[in-house]
Amino acid sequence: MKPVILDVDTGLDDACALLLAARHPELDLKAVTCAGGNVGLDDVVRNTLTVLDAAGRPDVPVARGAAVPLLQPVRMARHVHGADGLGDIDWPRSTRTTDRRHAVELLRDVLREAAATGELITLIPLAPLTNIALLLRTYPDAAAGLREIVFMGGAARIGNATASAEFNIWTDPEAAAIVLTAAGELGVPTTMYGLDVFYDVVVTLEQARGLSGSPSAELARKLIEKRSSLYQSDGASIGDGGAVCAVIDPSGLTTQPFPVRIELSGSWSRGRTIVDTRDWSADLTSDPHGLSPTKVQVATAVDGKRYAELWL
Ligand code: BDR
Ligand code: CA
């Protein structure tokens, strides 16, 4: 089994990812950490516990993390995820409590243990990267427990929060810059599952209607129905869920190694991932922050049908 940790801002599509990570027989879900993002931290935590309850996984430790980005105020996406972040669907919400540790401490402990046993962990951040930046700056030794990072965020082409920037990176660009820089310095292999593939793993309403017989299947169906109705479509992308598919079945994802920088200023481009697709690397100007770009495996294409089947 592949040990994984998810960092989430649950979120309808984070819920799709959590269900898959909690239920797939090849994954060992060690912990889930929460950050403010799509909705406020209290809603994120409640939604996360609710999804894990539905998946029959109350054993997975869940920790509260950063409520707000490092520098700028939190900006949510309730128009995409509903007022409570879980599409306001008719489903009993969890009343369970979280692990007593802060997300950064839970990550530190699980990763240190992984480093000690040699069972290295794949970290799957699906939210603004605030918790992960705090972790790598506070306890850089914990990176020794990482096999790789596969994060949902960014785009080589268009954005969604703005024309330039994807929501997770746009919400906390400083955190994203810290994580990419630290991953480069600490030698952690990193994959960017961005908007270039994010929308391409689509589950149709017809497929979703076949999901029944267990709480996790019922919830999965409701998530797709809700996302489809929000997008006024006859199906919906599993969004963040695709990043979990990529960890289970990497051969369904095409990636290319490119240097990536985070735009930290710019009136219309703050939060953009600058993916350098040139086949030469000279820059005519120097980085204003003195940061070197990190080489990241950038997802450029996905076998959407295969991942949709995997999720189903
Ligand atoms: C990302 O932002 C959130 O709305 C989703 O949960 C996903 O992680 C897409 O830009
Ligand atoms: Ca998310």
CB 247 within 8 A of CB 27: yes
| Structure confidence at residue 122 (pLDDT) | 98
Residues 246-271, mean pLDDT to the nearest whole number:
96
Give the distance from CA 274 to its chain's centroid. Answer: 19
Length of the chain: 312
Which atom of ligand 1 is closest in space to residue 167's alpha carbon?
A: 10
Calpha distance 273→24 (Å, rounded):
31
| Structure confidence at residue 34 (pLDDT) | 98
Cα of 240 from ligand 1 centre, angstroms: 7
What values do phi and psi take at 6, rounded to 5? -105, 140
Residue 283 has pLDDT above 80, yes or no: no
Question: 299 has which bridge partners?
Answer: 255
**DSSP per residue over 128-157, as a string?**
-THHHHHHHHH-GGGGGGEEEEEEE---SS
Q: What's the pLDDT band for 287 if we cut at 50, 70, 90?
A: confident
Calpha distance 62→190 (Å, rounded):
24
Angle in degrees, 0-180, between the axes of helices 12-23 and 241-248, rounded to the nearest 10: 30
Find out whether the peptide bond into 213 is cis, omega within 30 degrees of 0. no
Q: Could you report the per-residue pLDDT of 96-142, keeping only the tens digit for each?
A: 999 999 999 999 999 999 999 999 999 999 999 999 999 999 999 99
- Which protein residue has the closest C-alpha to ligand 1 atom 10? 167
* Torsional class of 272: left (φ above 0), alpha (ψ -120 to 50), beta (otherwise): beta
Cα of 279 from ligand 2 centre, angstroms: 32
Calpha distance 165→182 (Å, rounded):
21
Residue with tokens 């599409």: 87
ipTM score over 0.85, yes or no: yes
Q: Spell out which residues line ligand 1, taking CB within 6 angstroms.
A: 11, 13-14, 38, 77, 80, 126, 152, 160, 166-168, 239-240
Nearest one of 208, 134, 194 to 166, comparing CA atoms: 194
Residues 62-88, mean pLDDT to the nearest whole number:
91
Its pTM surpasses 0.95 = yes
